[in-house]
Amino acid sequence: SQTIHQWPATLVQPVGSPLSLECTVEGTSNPNLYWYRQAAGRGLQLLFYSIGIDQISSEVPQNLSASRPQDRQFILSSKKLLLSDSGFYLCAWTTGLYNSPLHFGNGTRLTVT
Amino acid sequence: AQSVTQLGSHVSVSEGALVLLRCNYSSSVPPYLFWYVQYPNQGLQLLLKYTTGATLVKGINGFEAEFKKSETSFHLTKPSAHMSDAAEYFCAVSGDYQTGANNLFFGTGTRLTVIP
């Protein structure tokens, strides 16, 4: 069966520090991968999605970036965090079929101080 | 264009009462529709999905939803609320797959409170 791992679960970082969040998927190949963010009291905001290695699309301009160094690994990064980067970050995958649901990781709670 | 509207950001029901969470969608193609549940500090879990076929879809935890094309709706229901149903619920519609976009579009969520 397929599983998705996301780490760390919680993170507290000072403003201006770098960020690296990792996500890996097991039990499937060539998944579509996604990074979402939830700010407090708000819905889901799609940040990045990837349909293959080195194929990454950005949905919103920001100081975050994403990389996919391996087929089932998706990394969210920042060189310098802002206070507004605080939130709950969710990684997700799907098979890419149009009727396929998204499968989410357990999320990372990021607090920028 | 694809979009989802969830009416009511907060819904409260008494334990044992009917749960009704509303979702209306807009889609330029025949839609695929999904309901997700999120418990505090966790990821989203799929409750149910509609792709094709039967318009009444049954999911986990006793939830079901009915696709009504004429009303562009996909409301989520449960006959009798349990305390464990307290969570946030998200409705989502598929992207315009005819143009190659296969992302999901989410509503802003409905927080369900169950009153003992």
Q: How far is CA B68 from CA A34, B56, B59, in A?
A: 29, 9, 17
Tell me which residue of A83, A84, A25, A34 sits closest to A55, measured CA to CA: A34
Instruction: Provide, as residue numbers in chain B, all residues whose Cβ is less than 8 Å from the Cβ of A92.
Output: 43-44
Count residue pairs from A and B with Cβ separation < 8 A: 54
Taking a C-beta distance cutoff of 8 angstroms, is the pair B36, B21 a contact?
Answer: no
In the predicted structure, residue B37 carries a pLDDT above the cut 60 = yes
Closest-CA distance, A73 to chain B, in angstroms, reads: 18
Q: How confident is the model at residue A99 (pLDDT cuts 50, 70, 90)?
A: confident
Least CB-CB distance to B43: which of A46, A96, A104? Answer: A104
Which stretch of A14-18, A74-78, B99-103 has the lowest confidence by average pLDDT?
A: B99-103
Is B90 close to A99, i.e. CB distance below 8 A? no
Q: Is some CB atom of chain B closer than 8 A to the CB atom of A40? A: no
From B62, B106, B64, select the one nearest B84 (Cα to Cα). Answer: B62
Separation in Å, CA of A94 to nearest CA in chain B: 9
Question: CA A18, A41, A7 angle in degrees (round to 5)?
Answer: 35
- Minimum-distance CB partner of A44 among B41, B46, B106: B106
pLDDT higher for A107 or A59?
A: A107
Mean pLDDT of chain B: 92
**Measured between CB atoms, does B90 come within 8 Å of chain A?**
yes
Amino acid type, B115: I
Q: What is the C-alpha separation between B96 and B94, in angstroms, rounded?
A: 7
B42 — contact with chain A (CB < 8 Å)? yes
Q: What is the pLDDT of residue B99?
A: 59
Handedness of CA B86, B89, A102, A38 (dihedral sign): negative
> Looking at per-residue confidence, does A25 or A40 come out higher?
A25
Task: Outline where B1-116 has alpha helix (H).
Answer: none
Mean per-residue pLDDT, B67-93: 96
B41 touches chain A (CB under 8 A): yes
Q: Do B94 and A99 touch (CB under 8 A)?
A: yes
Please classify residue A54 by burial: count the beta carbons closer than 10 Å to its beta carbon, then call 0-12 exposed, 13-18 middle and 19+ buried.
exposed
Q: CA B89 to CA B108: how far, in whole Å? A: 9
pLDDT at A97: 77
SS3 call for A90: strand
